[in-house]
């Protein structure tokens, strides 16, 4: 069954418009409580990023869950993976994150974790959507849920992140620029790296409710670059608004994306005999990354785009490491979901073990030219049944032959069609991508 509200990463939209309205979110809290509790009383953990609407939706979710008879543990602003971790460690029945990740402040969203700290399967999200069609019926007054706040959530999570590298390891001698995007990692990430011994230059650590992801963070590396070069830092580390993805930068100011970071982590684990299987990427993972894994005899599989699908593949194969070009990196031997801070620590750990700089470690893999064009669409476009799009797609694939790849897919979080072309020749890649994007634009207008 098609889902009305849930996308590839929870529910997301512009604040004040369905589904991100107060009444809908309260009903969502009640519906989720009914489905997740299975008629037994329990506790649900709620965390949020730093956008101003989080306070409003936190109260709405709290009311809905209480009406369903569930207790609530409020964490305040915390990274998405922190909610997953604390949900698991508190033996809560579920965790809820109020965040729109890399989107601007006027958007917001809701993501769920189950009791084990993993994202909900599609079937459970479908159950919640079905429950939304039911009338909201409160439990009896004596069964209404209670809400409490966890005062030491920040400290707990900082210690958890630090424990993800060996106790005898530290970051002394490293100068790091840490860009928190004025988001949920603002009071967590600098402390983690500083307490492990690094010198930290903070960027994007002054959230005001509306400046989240505003020209800082993983999507805007220019700010990080300026600070890396000015301070002659060894490495720059940038997170998105909710802290589940990371981008890094070398001392020269060159950005290293999720594919390159994934390679460094995998190579380090391989050399230490701790890889335990292969690596899962996505349809967007650069072909050069796949070839680098092959050269090191590391098995590699592609999943659909979205960290939830990477996770499904990891579980299917019994592997532990996977991720996306966008910087969602999953280290299942450390945590249950994509975690920007822990992923960055694994990269720094790998550099420390090899004695390489970030530049040197990334030079081992070739990144093939890749062009991504986001084409806005006002309505759902059936790419498979558009003759215009399919003709352009066949021509592109024929021109690239075996030297490249083409991918067309709708965004799971925004009204966009993503057009990706990858190949060995930059000029051919760019030209092919623009031809395909134009075909999609014309099809969307018809």
Residues labelled as active-site residues: 101
30 alpha-carbon distance from chain centroid? 26
Burial of residue 416 (CB within 10 Å: 0-12, 13-18, 19+) is: middle
Say if CB 106 and CB 15 are below 8 A apart.
yes
Pairwise CA distance, residues 324 & 306, whole Å: 8
User: Around Cβ 164, how many Cβ atoms within 10 Å?
Assistant: 18
Q: What is the β-pairing status of strands 255-256 and 235-239?
A: unpaired
Give the C-alpha distances (Å, rounded to integers) separating 318 from 4, 22, 118, 160: 32, 40, 15, 24
Question: Hey, CA dihedral for 319, 323, 328, 331, is it positive or negative?
Answer: positive
Q: What is the β-pairing status of strands 370-376 and 416-423?
A: antiparallel
> Token digits for 188?
């967590």
Say if CB 73 and CB 44 are below 8 A apart.
yes
């Amino acid at each position: 069954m098609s889902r009305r509200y849930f996308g590839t990463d929870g529910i997301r939209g512009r604040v004040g418009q369905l589904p991100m309205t107060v009444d809908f979110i309260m009903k969502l809290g009640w519906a989720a409580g009914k489905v997740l509790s299975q008629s037994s009383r329990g506790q649900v953990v709620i965390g949020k990023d730093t956008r101003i609407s989080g306070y409003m939706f936190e109260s709405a979710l709290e009311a809905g869950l209480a009406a369903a008879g569930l207790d609530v543990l409020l964490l305040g602003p915390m990274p998405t993976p922190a909610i997953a971790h604390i949900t698991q460690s508190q033996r809560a029945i579920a965790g809820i994150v109020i965040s729109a990740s890399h989107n601007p402040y006027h958007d917001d969203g809701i993501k769920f974790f189950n009791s084990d700290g993993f994202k909900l399967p599609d079937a459970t999200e479908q159950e919640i959507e079905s429950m939304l069609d039911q009338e909201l019926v409160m439990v009896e007054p004596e069964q209404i849920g209670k809400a409490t706040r966890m005062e030491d959530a920040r400290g707990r999570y900082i210690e958890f992140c630090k424990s993800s590298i060996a106790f005898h390891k530290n970051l002394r001698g490293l100068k790091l620029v840490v860009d928190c995007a004025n988001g949920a990692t603002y009071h967590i990430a600098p402390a983690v790296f500083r307490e492990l011994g690094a010198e930290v230059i903070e960027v994007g650590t002054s959230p005001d409710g509306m400046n989240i992801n505003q020209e800082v963070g993983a999507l805007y590396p220019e700010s990080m670059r300026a600070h890396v070069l000015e301070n002659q830092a060894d490495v720059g580390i940038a997170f998105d608004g909710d802290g589940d993805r990371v981008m890094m930068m070398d001392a020269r100011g060159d950005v290293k994306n999720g594919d390159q970071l994934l390679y460094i982590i995998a190579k380090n684990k391989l050399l230490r005999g701790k890889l335990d299987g292969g690596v899962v990427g996505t349809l967007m993972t650069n072909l050069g990354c796949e070839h680098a894994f092959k050269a090191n005899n590391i098995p590699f599989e592609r999943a659909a785009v979205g960290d939830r699908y990477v996770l499904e593949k990891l579980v299917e194969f019994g592997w532990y490491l996977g991720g996306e070009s966008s910087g969602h990196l999953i280290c299942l031997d450390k945590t249950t979901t994509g975690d920007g801070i822990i992923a960055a620590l694994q990269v720094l750990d790998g550099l420390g073990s090899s004695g390489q700089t970030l530049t040197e470690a990334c030079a081992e893999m070739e990144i093939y030219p890749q062009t991504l064009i986001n084409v806005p669409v006002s309505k759902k476009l059936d790419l498979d049944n558009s003759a215009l799009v399919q003709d352009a797609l066949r021509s592109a694939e024929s021109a690239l032959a075996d030297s490249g790849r083409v991918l067309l897919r709708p965004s799971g979080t925004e009204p966009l069609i993503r057009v990706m072309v990858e190949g060995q020749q930059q000029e051919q890649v760019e030209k092919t991508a623009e031809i395909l994007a134009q075909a999609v634009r014309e099809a969307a207008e018809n």
